[in-house]
Amino acid sequence: MKRGESMGEQKQVKPTISIGIMAVCSIGMALGSIMPALAKIYSSYPDVPVTSIGWIVSISQIVQIISGLLIGTVAGRFVKLKTLAIICTVLFILGGSAPAFIPGF
């Protein structure tokens, strides 16, 4: 606590910070939403092996682990946290919308 502050005083949080925190949390929830869709994906592609469809979840989680380790070492040292959050959100949006432009599985 800073000098002159009492425990009852609270700082106002900027709306942009709150929106940013909610956006980052929703990215994690979006990754978890892949699992229930696997059965539907498998029924849509019966000629594709189940293991290939299982890789959809595995690859996304492997990339998440590797990028988490890299971002953890870079965050704050070389790149500002706000800049890093923006870059990661843009990459997530690009990666999430990329399947719309892929003609086949």
Render pLDDT for 59-78 as a digit per residue (tens, 0 to 9). Answer: 877 887 788 778 878 877 88
pLDDT in the model for residue 19: 74
Look up residue 18 and give its two tokens.
């709150």
Whether the CB-CB separation of 66 and 74 falls below 8 Å is answered with no
Q: Alpha carbon of 40 to those of 26, 30, 49, 56, 100: distances in Å?
A: 22, 17, 14, 13, 17
Place 6 in a pLDDT band, splitting at 50, 70 and 90.
Answer: low
Whole-angstrom Cα distance, residue 43 to residue 53? 11
Mean pLDDT taken over the chain: 76
Contact at 8 Å (CB) between 76 and 89? no
More confident call, 10 vs 2: 10
Neighbours of 62 (CB within 10 A): 11
- Percent of the chain at pLDDT exceeding 90: 0
- More confident call, 28 vs 74: 74
Q: Is the pLDDT of residue 30 over 70?
A: no
29: pLDDT strictly greater than 80: no
